[in-house]
Amino acid sequence: MADAVRTAGGHGYIAGLFADEGSFVAACRAARAAGHTDLQAWTPWPVHGLEEVLGLERSWIGRAVFPAILIGFVLCTGFIYQLTVEDWPVVYGGKPFAAWQLWVVPVLETGLLLGAVVNLLAVFHTCRLVPDPFATLPDPRLSDDRFALALPVGGDAAAVCAWFAAQGAESTLAVDGETALARPRFADLPGQEAPHA
Amino acid sequence: MTTRFWKAPEDLVQAAPADEFRPEVAAAIAELRSAHGIDQPACTGELPVPGDPALLAAVNRRGFLQLTGAAAVFALAACGEKHPDTLVPPAVQVEGMSPGEPLHYASVLRAAGHPVAVAVKTYDGRPIKIEGNPDCPVGRGSADLRTQAALLDLYDPDRLQHGPQQRGADGFAATTWAALDAAVGAALKQGRVGLLTGPVDGPARRRLVDGLVAAAGGRLTHAVFEALPRTAELRARQQAWGDRPAAGRQYRLDRARLLVAFGDLLGGGLAGLGEQVGFGELRRNRGRVVVVEPTLSQLGTCADLRVRCAPDRLEWAAWGVAELVAKALGGGAALPPAIARELDRVRAGDLSAALGLRAVDGRPALEAVAEALVANRRAGHASVVCAGSAWSPAGLHLAVEFLNGALGNLHGPQATAAPAGASAIADGGAADDLLTACKRGEIATLIVAGCNPVHGHPAAAEALAAVKLVVAVADRLDETASLAHWVAPAAHDLESWGDAELRAGVVALQQPCVRPLWDVREVEQSLLAFAAAAGWAGYAQPAAKPPAAPALSVVSRAPLWDAAVAGVRSWRETVRAAWIAQVRPAAQPLADDTTWWSACLARGVVELPAAPAPAAAPTFRGDAARIQPFAASTGYQLVLSASRTLRDGASANNPWLQEVPDPVSKVTWDNYLAISPADAQRELVGEGAVVALEVAGRTIEAPVHVQDGQHPGTLELFLGWGRTRAGAVAALDDGFRIDAFPLFARGAGAIQAAAIKPTGRTYELATTQFHDRLAGRPMPLDDSMAGHELAPKWVAGTDGKPGGRLSLWRTEHAYLGRRWGMAIDLDACTGCNACVVACSAENNIPVVGRDEVRKNRELHWIRIDRYYSSAPGADQAARLDVQVVNQPMLCLHCDNAPCEVVCPANATMHNDQGVSLQIYNRCIGTRYCANNCPYKVRRFNWYEYAKYRAGPVGAGAPLERVARNLVTEGRTTAAAELTHAPLQLMLNPEVTVRSMGVMEKCNFCVQRLRTVRDREHASNRALPDGAITTACAQTCPTRAIVFGDLNDPASAVVRLGEAEGHRAFKALDEELNTRPAVAYLQRRRGGHAHGKETHP
Amino acid sequence: MSAPREPELTARQITDDLTAPIFRLPSLQWVGGFLTAAGLAGLFGLAILAYCVEGYGIFGVDNTVNWGNDIGSYVFWIGIAVAGTLVSSVLLLFRQRWRTGVNRATEAMTVFAINIAGIYPLIHTGRPWVDYWLLPLPNDLSLWEQFKSPIVWDVFAITGYATTSVLFFYLGLIPDFAAVRDRCPDNRFGRLQRLLYSALSLGWKGTASDWRHYERAYTQFAWVATPLVVGMHSTIATLLAVSLVPGWHASVFPPYFVSGAIFGGLAMAMLLLIPLRSAFSLERYITIDHLDRLAKIMLTVGMIVLYVYVTEFFTAWYSESAAEQGQYWYRLTGEHKAFFWTMILCNVVSIQLLWFRSLRRNLGVLLLVAFMVNAGMWLERYNIVVLSLERDHLPSKWTAYAFTGWDYIILSGSFGLFFTQFLLFCRVAPVVSIAEIKATLLRRGRHGADQEASHG
Amino acid sequence: MINPLHLLRRFWFVPALLVAAGVAGALWFVNAFHDRGYAPVQPIAYSHKQHAGDLRIDCQYCHFSAATGKHAGVPPMSVCLGCHNHVGGDKPEVQKLLAIAEKGSYEANGVTYAGGVVHWQRVHRLPDHVYFSHQWHVQGGVACQTCHGPVEEMTTLRQYATLNMGWCLECHRRSNYVGGPGLVAGEPATFTTGTADNHATIARQERDPVVTFLRQGQPATAAGVAAAAPRQLDRLRAFIAEKGLKDLPQWRAADLPETHKAFYGESRLMNAQTQCSTCHQ
């Protein structure tokens, strides 16, 4: 539920950029220890175990796929039954109308396909993935070799910057909370040079 | 009402229905329509039907297309687009003819070299199927191969299409009938006249010829020309019994229990439909067949005991048997002394060994044959002894006459070798004398009517050149007609009147089933016209006024020649008069002439009380017979036999006959030189190798077919192929034009010394069966194949209880109404292919051509598999002494059909009457059903075969075929299309014509089964069994194929099953549990069987 | 141990190496390869057009051997599609970290092979313009397809598997497109690339919660894809196994086809990886160890395929059925025995080289074995489909099948189509998945315990 | 640059509209290829409204082979001239008819049609692979209007129904059940087309366990069957189970008329097996 709380907060964040994974994870652990709950982290690659560090619970997608597969099985069986037995029963090669043994393959394939599609849609939904030609990250290097941890400004930006420097952050960056995940607006934050291209 | 002219399409939409008929409205619509490039009449936007809102406001689909002007584009896409065509009603409704209901006419066809009584099925005035006349005692409702194929000759586009021709300086030019008749009439007035015709049988035709001879006052000499002469047979009979026979023999096999043949009775040579039907009866009476022959012939494949003998020693084998039989039977018959002396000279010890015959079960072969004959005679049964072809050596015919006489087959009520009929076949010699007379210049005018001497007779060409005026009455510019000065196009049998004598005492009427397709005239009508023009007495009649609307020819729409208008006696009236004068007194006369005449026309066949066969046994006077001395022959002997499919090549231009596989070698489209496997090994010549054949000083190149069962030292070549002027189809060859007639020399050259030299080239013969051995497959074809227990009890309906068979599915679909099934007796099947052509005619099966047959893509729905088997450990080449089984294979309509389960598009299913249906318009062509069918009976349309109606796909490369395809469609007007491909008229409208990419197979003639359902619906009474049956079962001469309702205990197929259940089996059913609806009855080997056959 | 290591691997170095081909002008070999492949793909289209106009008769099939080149190549391409899913999902489930080097390339191979395999059922029919009858679409004939038919099963299997593998492939690509998006140079062409890649990456941000969902979904895909691929290729096997043709209807077919597919697929993967790593100098990411491990799997699966060959012959001998024995006797000694023995040489003899570690790590040997196994697997499908049909139950209709010119054209066309797609892929997307390779290579230094010893 | 997300939020109805139009277009396309409403201009503007509607001439006076044959047939000239030699000589269209009969040929759109008959433009045309017979439909009591629409109100004859396969099946399924509307004693209980036929129907009745059970001696009337429904249904199930009748004809309850719904509730009891060979040969 942490996501919902953060975005609702509404006002700006300060993000600290870290060069290596070790210091970044230590900073996260420190932030959690310091009682921060409204945390936002960017990593260029999936860091193993980061959820526990940040206190996020396991993704719900895992629980969505199996029911989808079962629904797929039921739908396909009903569809084929309706066509071959109810709508137009025709004799093929001496087989009974309801030769369910022969339907196993379409049922299996439809079920698994539905599971895969539901799985993808779940990812698209949770990660807000929409074809956006203008999406950018707070810092272009975040998808390359830099990690970032963002804390809410909470009135005293300088204190937060100092804390980051103590944790070994390379640099700090202002990030707009409301569109934290979208483009930052640099104009209104004091004293920040435009991030390098 | 102000007149408004429609300029823009939008106005069209608002046109109120009432206004649309005023002339200016129609004109505007026509103008608008042409602007859109749509040539058919305009369509108007009709207000939508009340209460059914059209999706698009007030414009139907056609209106919509018109408005957008996208007609051209949509025409391409919308294959369902309705092709505008017209409904043409008759001017006056013809009594009893409702459109869409087929009518049958009884008639006679002569395509098979002898007359056959047929019932022609016509649909809306077009003959579409030939069926046997059920009332005919000779054919009993069946028809042979060439009679079935005669239908295609009617629609042959290579017939003369544009009326009489006159040979001018540069080839032939069209002329008029009047000019032709005048010229011929003038020539007939003086000088000797020669008339060369085909066999003249039937009261009216004989009366016509006799009348012409009498009217010409001795100046006219008539002779019968036959490509396959019976001179040797007639001369031998004259030597044997002293009397000059008028006609050849016809063998009544149905009265016999044993057939001994020295050669091939069934192939193209001697046999007529009567013999084939008789063979079926012989088999059903458990009769046995013994054949002594040099090559494997069609009768050889059906033989119980087959003895190989060199061609020139056949005659002496016959005399050997005759000697043994005469000794055993005692009585007066004794061998002529000259022959007895010659036999003693040859026979050092055992004559069979001297003649090089293989021993049969340890005993000399000739003893086995003689013993069979004597035992049959002592058991009181009749037998038939016959020579192979009419042109076998005279000595062999003499021996056969002696044997038949000794065994009592020639006299008494049960005579099995009765004379054919009063005037069937004249002596072949008369034709030779007439032609020599022509060559000497004695004949001023020669009329060649209904025969083709130049093709069959070596000396005919120069003879014709020496005659001042040659008139040919022929249906095409064949070899003879192209040398004639005048050509009178002849009508096809289906377009002409006439009559025939099928057998002694059985006469039949021939009536036209369609108005002539082209500007043609009947052969006999031409003769009458010539006689009238020559002013001979009794042939002219007062000329009548031409009618208002003259009759037009069906295809070329040309006005037809009318006898009444031309002042000539009509041939129809002549036939009618002849029958009323000669036949009516003999037959039981009905009330008056017209009633009796229409009754005869309806029935087609009239049986006259036949002259009783001679009661007393004639005495054999063959002593003075001249015998050539027996000489051991060296080198190869060439045997010339009639082609088993084309016979003498009269209908060589018939694609069906060209593509039907030869019953023994399964070769299509080509002539070939058959060679024995032993010789092939020695000469290092493989299948299809091209050899140079030197015979009597001439060299012919021919591809070789290695024929199992052929006696070493023997070569066989076939007559009837290689015709140059038969038409486009006959000319379709890859460079091997092998015409054997020049070697034939009118029968004198039937057996000649020959030599072969391999040329190193090869030529792939188009065969339909590539493997001849059963290779151990579990198919118990004959009762000698031990180790395969037969289906326990074969009776309809109880062939497998659900518990009886291992099956994943417990459901049994019950057939509550009818359940169609078939039984095929392998004992009676001679492999004659009549069923193959009948099926192609009934179901619009196109011809595919030599290339496609080579690629194993022929489209026949029924094929006849011929399996060889030889005794284990037979002599060195296991392929010399083979036993054969002919197995017709068609869709077996399995209950657990492997093809229906795998079809993804619902294109094939099983209906409630047990028929496995194939729905052509639903098939998308994945071809999985053909892979899954273990019997491989499904056929696929690889190309748009149906479009090549004008002829086979032939050798054209793919692109060239597309070009020819477009050219055919390039012709816009229907008439032009018909002249190029009149074969469209022959299509059976009750069967869908399949397009490219669609699978097809036998569906038990479901259109006929549907007629059963319709008739029963109408009459509310069950149709009798066999009233309607499949095309193959109907035409099978030997009744090997029996079709019927398995749920009806009284049906023939069920009764046959109960009677012959002990030898019934279902193909591959034990192994694959397909439960076919077609059962086979094993071949009976009659004690001469051998054990499990060897692997290939 | 492997060769001495180049300078220390950093994340930036990895991103540079992997995104280099995208921002560089294509090399000469690439352009040459692409043009030939595109030409062959054009021939593929030409062959389809030719047979739609003229008729299916232009190919070599006839009334006995109704399938030949078309279904043989179809099963061959489907077989190649199976290996990709194996590498990406099965190895993921087995926690084989080393898969990250090769999984992107093999998944790409899967997607491109399934595209071709998806086309074949539509172009082997006699009337391709009514192929839509194979799909369960409502129509006014109220007629549907026939669910008892293995071909309909195949339609379901291929559509299901194609969709799943494309989605799985695309899900893997999203983070990498984001990485490429942020590396686009600031020139005119770069800005265009930037638009394209950020649209392709669906605005991926890479926040921790995103990664958590992403990882979970990725693993779920593996769980769904594994049964799907085994089920799919068993369905392709039932296409032959359900029939009555001797040589087809054997219950060993489903496992036989799945192991054969993995075997053939890995061979094709090798054929792609070895030239790929040298062309784009990715030796550090697709190391010899990767190839060594792939070779080991190939050897194992190859031995399973050898086992199945033996069982096939044993069952035929043991079954006392004339049709079966005749069929397999024909494969050994018939007129087309050359096909069978070449297949044995390629599939059984060649992989014995892989027992030896030194040979397994020798690129030349790997290429040779991979090529032979690929050819062997096409021949194996050809043998099963064609030789079985040539010697069916009734001897009267035995024939000899032969390729026509168009057969050669459509076969080479299918390979052209495959390599066109693959070469385009190499230019558009990173050939190794950047995110996962970093997660694997740069794990050192933090949780010492799970230092990937094998990856060193 | 405009962010497509914002565009999407404000103008979301544009894609929605596009999708809706696509679906509607597809549905139209699927049902577009039919020829309902096809009404070609005929050489002579014959009006069915005038003859069949106002003068109330029976259809089979002109189309006389409808009841006895496959084709209904277009009236020969003799039928038209039978009246028009005496009646309606003043009308222009009738004069056109008489001219054709007299001159023997006529000109239309640049094509001369000979034979002295009117070459009517065909309106209803089924594809070549469909084999439709008027006989069984006319004798089966199907009115001409069912398929040809209100002909008596049509000035220009137009095609009323789509005549495609789904449309035909709609009727064949409904009419394909045991104990049809007019279930009268002695008459065949099954009014089925496609599956059974008169003779076979009667033979089938003897073997058909359901019907044998139904009859049990007393005539099977619609009312009787409906009345006995509740009690007999259980006995029928017992009868089927006891006899182990696995493959009963697969009936389809949806086709049942009201009187029988009560009785044949069991969906597996209705026989809707329409064979392909009914229309395709």
| 3-state SS class at D163 | coil
Domain containing residue A156: 2-58+138-175
Integer Cα distance of B194 and B187 in angstroms: 12
Lowest mean pLDDT among B791-795, B909-913, C221-225: B791-795
Half-sphere exposure of B877 (CA within 13 A, CB side): 17
Give me the torsion for CA of B209, B213, B216, B222, rounded to 10°: 90
Q: Is residue A186 part of a domain?
A: no
Cβ contacts (< 8 Å) between B962 and chain C: which residues?
53-54
Look at residue C376 and tell me whether its pLDDT is greater than 80. Answer: yes
User: Looking at this protein, which amino acid is placed at residue B267?
Assistant: G
DSSP code, position B1067: T
- For B386, other C-beta atoms within 10 Å of its C-beta total 27
| 3-state SS class at B419 | strand
Q: Please answer yes or no on whether C203 and A45 come within 8 Å at the CB atom.
A: no
B:9-38 residues touching chain D, CB 8 A cutoff: 17-18, 20-21, 26, 29-30
Per-residue model confidence (pLDDT) at position B61: 36
Integer Cα distance of B834 and B1035 in angstroms: 7
Q: Please answer yes or no on whether D273 and A90 come within 8 Å at the CB atom.
A: yes
Q: How far is CA B943 from the centre of its chain?
A: 26
- For B927, other C-beta atoms within 10 Å of its C-beta total 25
| Chain A contact for D267 (CB, 8 A cutoff) | yes
Q: Are B1048 and B1069 in contact (CB under 8 A)?
A: no
Do A83 and A117 fall within a single domain? yes
Q: Can you list the domains of chain B with their CATH numbers?
A: 9-77 (no CATH), 165-228+425-546+557-607 (3.40.50.740), 249-419 (3.40.228.10), 636-767 (2.40.40.20), 820-1081 (3.30.70.20)
Q: Is residue A188 part of a domain?
A: no
Q: Return the residue of A nearest to C446 by Cα.
A: A22
Apex C351 CA angle, C347 and C354, nearest 5 = 170
Closest Cα partner for A53 from C204, C211, C11, C214? C211
Residue A94 is nearest to which of B896, B903, B911, comparing CB atoms?
B896
Do A15 and A108 fall within a single domain? no
Q: Which residues contact B744 (CB under 8 A, 6 or more apart)?
A: B456, B640, B719, B750
Q: Return the residue of A nearest to D253 by Cα.
A: A86
Stretch (H or E) spanning D236: helix D222-243
Q: Is residue A30 part of a domain?
A: yes
Question: What's the mean pLDDT in B622-646?
Answer: 77
Higher pLDDT, B395 or B493: B493
Question: What's the mean pLDDT in D1-8?
Answer: 65
Integer Cα distance of B10 and B69 in angstroms: 12
Q: Return the residue of D nearest to A183 by Cα.
A: D3
Mutate to test the interface with D, among C129, C133, C137, C140 (most CBs of D within 10 A): C140
Per-residue model confidence (pLDDT) at position A69: 95
Supply B88's token pair. Answer: 């043409």
Give me the torsion for CA of B876, B878, B883, B886, rounded to 10°: -160
Per-residue model confidence (pLDDT) at position B958: 37
Stretch (H or E) spanning B488: strand B486-489
Cα distances (Å, whole numbers) of residue D200 to B1019, D106, D203: 12, 50, 5
Q: Is residue A84 part of a domain?
A: yes
Q: Are B856 and C57 in contact (CB under 8 A)?
A: no
Q: Return the residue of D nearest to B63 by Cα.
A: D38
pTM for the model stands at: 0.86
Integer Cα distance of B484 and B487 in angstroms: 7
Supply D62's token pair. Answer: 């002109």
Question: What's the mean pLDDT in D121-138?
Answer: 85
Higher pLDDT, B799 or B755: B755
Higher pLDDT, B311 or A174: B311
Chains touching chain D through at least 3 C-beta pairs below 8 angstroms are A, B, C
Lowest mean pLDDT among B101-115, B775-789, C303-317, D219-233: D219-233
Q: Which residues contact C144 (CB under 8 A, 6 or more apart)?
A: A83, A87, B906, C136
Cα-trace Rg, chain A: 25
Phi, psi of B824 (to 5 degrees): -120, 120
| Chain C contact for A5 (CB, 8 A cutoff) | no
Higher pLDDT, A98 or B49: A98
Look at residue D156 and tell me whether its pLDDT is greater than 80. Answer: yes
Q: Please answer yes or no on whether B935 and C144 come within 8 Å at the CB atom.
A: no
Per-residue model confidence (pLDDT) at position B46: 27
Q: Please answer yes or no on whether A93 and B898 come within 8 Å at the CB atom.
A: yes
Nearest Cα of chain B lies from the Cα of C110 at a distance, in angstroms, of: 25
Integer Cα distance of C121 and B926 in angstroms: 8
| Chain C contact for A44 (CB, 8 A cutoff) | yes
Do A106 and A149 fall within a single domain? no
Q: Please answer yes or no on whether C141 and D31 come within 8 Å at the CB atom.
A: no
Look at residue B27 and tell me whether its pLDDT is greater than 80. Answer: no
| Chain B contact for C53 (CB, 8 A cutoff) | yes
| Chain D contact for B58 (CB, 8 A cutoff) | no
Integer Cα distance of B476 and B728 in angstroms: 12
Condensed to tens digits (0 to 9), the pLDDT of residues D198-249 reads 444 444 445 444 455 555 544 444 455 555 555 555 565 565 566 555 433 3
Residue reference for tokens 């048997």? B321
| 3-state SS class at B939 | strand
Q: Which residues contact B95 (CB under 8 A, 6 or more apart)?
A: none
DSSP code, position B552: B
Residue D4 is nearest to which of A86, A90, A132, comparing CB atoms?
A132
Cβ contacts (< 8 Å) between A90 and chain D: which residues?
273, 276
| 3-state SS class at A41 | strand
Phi, psi of B996 (to 5 degrees): -65, 145
Q: Which residues contact B3 (CB under 8 A, 6 or more apart)?
A: B22, B24
Higher pLDDT, B632 or B441: B441
B:100-129 residues touching chain D, CB 8 A cutoff: 100-101
Supply C349's token pair. Answer: 């003899």
Q: How far is CA C360 from the centre of its chain?
A: 21
Mutate to test the interface with D, among A82, A87, A88 (most CBs of D within 10 A): A88
Do A97 and A118 fall within a single domain? yes
Cα distances (Å, whole numbers) of residue C80 to C31, C162, C262, C424: 25, 13, 7, 19
Look at residue A24 and tell me whether its pLDDT is greater than 70. Answer: yes
Q: Can you list the domains of chain C with their CATH numbers?
A: 53-442 (1.20.1630.10)
The sign of the CA dihedral D205, D209, D213, D214 is negative
Look at residue B1093 and tell me whether its pLDDT is greater than 60. Answer: no
Look at residue B927 and tell me whether its pLDDT is greater than 60. Answer: yes
| Chain A contact for D278 (CB, 8 A cutoff) | no
Nearest Cα of chain B lies from the Cα of C262 at a distance, in angstroms, of: 26
Q: Please answer yes or no on whether B961 and C54 come within 8 Å at the CB atom.
A: yes
Q: Please answer yes or no on whether A92 and B894 come within 8 Å at the CB atom.
A: no
Closest Cα partner for B155 from B448, B455, B514? B514
Condensed to tens digits (0 to 9), the pLDDT of residues A144-184 reads 888 988 888 777 778 888 888 888 888 888 777 555 444 33
Higher pLDDT, B66 or B1042: B1042
Q: Please answer yes or no on whether B897 and A92 come within 8 Å at the CB atom.
A: yes
Q: Is residue A194 part of a domain?
A: no
Please give the share of chain B, as a percent, with pLDDT higher than 70.
Answer: 79
Integer Cα distance of B452 and B464 in angstroms: 12
Looking at every residue in chain B, the average pLDDT score rounds to 80
Per-residue model confidence (pLDDT) at position B785: 67
| Chain B contact for C396 (CB, 8 A cutoff) | yes
Size of interface A-B (CB pairs under 8 A): 39
Q: Are B487 and B465 in contact (CB under 8 A)?
A: no
Nearest Cα of chain D lies from the Cα of B512 at a distance, in angstroms, of: 23
D:151-170 residues touching chain B, CB 8 A cutoff: 155-156, 158, 160
Q: Please answer yes or no on whether C436 and A120 come within 8 Å at the CB atom.
A: no
Q: Return the residue of B nearest to C249 by Cα.
A: B932
The sign of the CA dihedral A55, A58, A59, A64 is negative
Q: Please answer yes or no on whether C393 and B777 come within 8 Å at the CB atom.
A: yes
Question: What's the mean pLDDT in A5-21?
Answer: 67
Apex C70 CA angle, C64 and C73, nearest 5 = 125
| Chain D contact for C143 (CB, 8 A cutoff) | yes
Q: What is the ipTM of this complex?
A: 0.84
Q: What is the CATH number of the domain that holds A21?
A: 3.30.70
Q: Are C52 and B995 in contact (CB under 8 A)?
A: no
The sign of the CA dihedral D18, D21, D27, D31 is negative
Look at residue D192 and tell me whether its pLDDT is greater than 90. Answer: no
Cα-trace Rg, chain D: 27
Q: Is residue A132 part of a domain?
A: no
Lowest mean pLDDT among B875-884, B969-978, C279-288: B969-978
Q: Is residue A115 part of a domain?
A: yes
Nearest Cα of chain C lies from the Cα of A137 at a distance, in angstroms, of: 6
The separation between the first and the last C-alpha atoms of chain B, rounded to the nearest angstrom, is: 92
Q: Are B754 and B699 in contact (CB under 8 A)?
A: no
Integer Cα distance of D223 and B523 in angstroms: 72
Do A53 and A108 fall within a single domain? no
Per-residue model confidence (pLDDT) at position D248: 38
Closest Cα partner for B498 from B598, B572, B602? B572
Condensed to tens digits (0 to 9), the pLDDT of residues B109-143 reads 998 888 999 999 998 888 999 999 999 999 999 99
User: Looking at this protein, which amino acid is placed at residue C173?
Assistant: L
Cβ contacts (< 8 Å) between B920 and chain D: which residues?
129, 280
Question: What's the mean pLDDT in A61-75?
Answer: 93
Do A53 and A144 fall within a single domain? yes
Condensed to tens digits (0 to 9), the pLDDT of residues B401-435 reads 888 888 888 877 677 776 665 554 556 678 888 99
Residue C435 is nearest to which of A22, A44, A122, comparing CB atoms?
A44
- For D153, other C-beta atoms within 10 Å of its C-beta total 13
Q: Please answer yes or no on whether B813 and D247 come within 8 Å at the CB atom.
A: yes
Helices (H), chain A: 2-9, 21-33, 50-54, 61-81, 104-126, 157-167
- B573-604 as b/e: b if 16+ CB within 10 A: ebbbebbbebbbeebeeeeeeeebbeebeeeb
Q: Please answer yes or no on whether D32 and B61 come within 8 Å at the CB atom.
A: yes
Q: Please answer yes or no on whether C147 and A120 come within 8 Å at the CB atom.
A: no
Q: Is residue A93 part of a domain?
A: yes
Instruction: Kindly report the three-state secondary structure assignment for every residue of chain C.
Output: CCCCCCCCCCHHHHHHHHHHHHHCCCCHHHHHHHHHHHHHHHHHHHHHHHHHHHCHHHCCCCCCCCCCHHHHHHHHHHHHHHHHHHHHHHHHHCCCHHHHHHHHHHHHHHHHHHHHHHHHHHHCCCCHHHHHHHCCCCCCCCCCCCCCCHHHHHHHHHHHHHHHHHHHHHHHHHHHHHHHHCCCCCCHHHHHHHHHHHHHCCCCCCEHHHHHHHHHHHHHHHHHHHHHHHHHHHHHHHHHHCCCCCCCCCCCHHHHHHHHHHHHHHHHHHHHHHHHHHHCCCCCCCCHHHHHHHHHHHHHHHHHHHHHHHHHHHHHHHHCCHHHHHHHHHHHHCCCHHHHHHHHHHHHHHHHHHHCHHHHCCHHHHHHHHHHHHHHHHHHHHHHHHHHHHCCCCHHHCCCCCCCHHHHHHHHHHHHHHHHHHHHHHHHCCCCCHHHHHHHHCCCCCCHHHCCHHHC
| Chain C contact for A120 (CB, 8 A cutoff) | yes
Quote the number of domains for chain A: 2
| Chain A contact for D5 (CB, 8 A cutoff) | yes
Question: What's the mean pLDDT in B653-658?
Answer: 89
Q: Please answer yes or no on whether C144 and A83 come within 8 Å at the CB atom.
A: yes
The sign of the CA dihedral B371, B376, B382, B384 is negative
